[in-house]
Amino acid sequence: MLKKIAYVSVFVSDQQQALDFYTNVLGLEKRIDSATADGLRFLTVGVSGQDFELVIWPGTPGKGRPALGSPAAQYTIDTDDCRRKFATLKSHGVTFEPPHVIEQPWGLIARFHDPDGNMLQFRELRMA
């Protein structure tokens, strides 16, 4: 019987650069950083207090097919203040696409790229 999804990989060209972005810019915490038996680096990050982990793995960054003229986000991170997170990341040089917070009937999203071009987004849900 299945219990949960523990890891999802994000493919990056430079693990150290990605680790810096995901921890120092986005605010995720580093969880695991160890060498594998074949010498590769197994590196994970996650949201404080949540057991799900994102594996920062060497490989070719993913490119999602655009939908409705906008790139598809590969990863969505919930936040309680999308506009504040947008302003904080923008002050760190993060580029958003589009360059503003998107308002939807259900809440707010802000889409951005990591250093390898992977599309991520912050999401703030409105309470019904």
Q: What is the DSSP letter of 24?
A: I
Give a yes or no: residue 109 inside a domain. Answer: yes
Res 44 pLDDT > 80:
yes
Give a yes or no: residue 116 inside a domain. Answer: yes
User: For 15-39, how does the pLDDT look when each residue is reduced to its tens digit (9 = 90+)?
Assistant: 999 999 999 999 999 999 999 888 8
Same domain, 11 and 54: yes
Give the per-residue pLDDT at 117.
86
Count Cβ atoms within 10 A of the Cβ of residue 83 and give its class: 0-12 exposed, 13-18 middle, 19 or more buried: middle
Total domains in the chain come to 2
Give the per-residue pLDDT at 77.
92
Q: For residue 96, give Cα distances in angstroms to 5, 6, 106.
A: 28, 28, 20
Give a yes or no: residue 90 inside a domain. Answer: yes
Give the per-residue pLDDT at 42.
93
Give a yes or no: residue 63 inside a domain. Answer: no
Q: Which domain holds residue 83?
A: 75-125
Give a yes or no: residue 64 inside a domain. Answer: no
User: For 65-95, how does the pLDDT look when each residue is reduced to its tens digit (9 = 90+)?
Assistant: 776 666 678 889 999 999 999 999 999 999 9
Q: For residue 63, give Cα distances in angstroms to 2, 6, 89, 114.
A: 29, 23, 22, 12
User: CATH number for the domain including 53?
Assistant: 3.10.180.10
Same domain, 82 and 45: no
Same domain, 83 and 53: no
Q: For residue 103, give Cα distances in angstroms to 87, 107, 109, 111, 123.
A: 15, 6, 7, 12, 10
Single-letter code of the amino acid located at 27:
G
Same domain, 82 and 54: no
Count Cβ atoms within 10 A of the Cβ of residue 38 and give its class: 0-12 exposed, 13-18 middle, 19 or more buried: exposed
Same domain, 79 and 38: no
Give a yes or no: residue 45 inside a domain. Answer: yes
